[in-house]
Amino acid sequence: MTGIMENFFAPKSVAVIGASATTGKPGNVVIKNIRDNGFKGKLYLVNPRGGRIEGLAVCTSIDELPHGIDQAIVTLPAVAAPDTVRALGARGIPAIVLAASGFAEVDQMGEALQAELGAAIRESGVRVIGPNTTGHVSTPANFTSSFFPLGKVPGGHISYITQTGNFCGISLRHIMSAENFGVCRVVGLGNKVDVEESELLDYLGDDPETHAILLYLESIKYPKRFHRVASRVTKKKPVILLKGGASDEGAAAAQAHTGSLAANGRVVDGAMEQAGVTRIYKYSQLFHVAKALAAMPVPAGNRVSFLSPSGAFTVCMTDYCRAIGLEVPQLEEITRKRLQKFAPPFIRMRNPVDIFGSAGLVGYEKAYGDALDAVLSDRNIDAAVVIMMLTTESGIPGYDFLVKLARKHRGKPFYVTFMGQHEHNVAAKAYLEPRGVPCYMQVEEPFEVLSVLSRCRRSLGR
């Protein structure tokens, strides 16, 4: 299986079937994406008109292609898919990405066409990602099959398996424009008529470039296989799952989206917990959790400290921590005395840390910096959250003290969140995240991430 997956993720030669000279058409965008990402292999184009596209010679048919090309990307209409698969198989092309929609997610005619496509795949002995997908990305190979305009995709060690064709389009563009982490392998499964989540999870579990795996699935094609593979992979890498279709309405939407039949939610819950897969329940957490994993380690446990400029936050966030499975433990006495050194005498410092008085006495950077260093050094604490209050009137601190503390305490994660003036929050995020400090714009978000990752830690340690 590794061999065929290498044809998808590390191809040395690729053919685009349905290549186009028209700007904006899928068959043109995919060529530009491949070039923008610095693909070093051979690129072949097929269009009945022949000629040249983007400076490359164009074959007029699949029969003109050389034998043994590693991968083909097909941007032709759905009705052409079965015959195209047969023709590509006859040319010895083992890996195919099918972009077209119009199959089982549409109607009965689409179901019949998808059944015919499945038969063509089996007859040809090829492997297929899709249909109904914008493709996949493999940054270690400087490659993408996506026909959604992407440009250069930033590399990293986070991989995604998603049962939505558009993850390698709209969602990836969100990561590239709104977040500050890169990706490794990303696959939009689409209707997964052939390649499915279990074999991809198996491949990524052994992939040295992949350090964590996030999945969005509307159905699990082979539950027993998935359970077996996940049980192995989750012992060595974080595996995070968002399962769509848990409600009756969601299941109906999944049927319309990718033609998938969603499994009973409670059955999935039990099976995933047994396999060590960590569940999430918000789409945005596919990005929030990934950002944390990309920058900092998984916390050793669920014991949290947080620095707050407001008494209301100390109360509300303590309640929220308890509600989502986090502990807010007492600090060691040596830590408490250290915090008290910079605090007004009428404030008894404890966990959570009310930092407002200290900041007023000794300044923002000294108060926050010393307090964060203290709690991260505490043996009762596994992770921390820094709530920053940024306004023009209260003054904008430098942020390098946070970067230095991230380097000093590499074994314990901490995340930053904000309350105050939005433009200052955005500027702080833009400064800190490229330097390895994850930031969250809503105050509950970093606590939710810690809740997810503390559950993940239990799986890794089992």
Average pLDDT over residues 293-312: 96
- Position 1 scores a pLDDT of 44
Lowest-confidence region among 77-86, 153-162, 266-275, 285-294: 266-275
Count how many Cα atoms sit within 13 Å of the Cα of residue 319 in the half-sphere of its side chain.
5
Count how many Cα atoms sit within 13 Å of the Cα of residue 159 in the half-sphere of its side chain.
28
Q: Please check whether residue 288 is in contact with residue 445, taking contact to mean a CB–CB distance below 8 angstroms.
A: yes
Token duo for residue 12: 């040395």
Under the banding of pLDDT at 50, 70 and 90, the label for residue 99 is very high
Token duo for residue 403: 């970067």
Which residue ranges form the domains of the chain, and what is each CATH number? 2-293 (3.40.50.261), 297-460 (3.40.50.261)
- Helix, strand or coil for residue 161? strand
Pairing, β 304-308 against β 278-280 = unpaired
Q: What does the pLDDT look like over 3-20, one tens digit per residue?
A: 899 999 999 999 999 999
Whole-number average pLDDT of the chain: 93
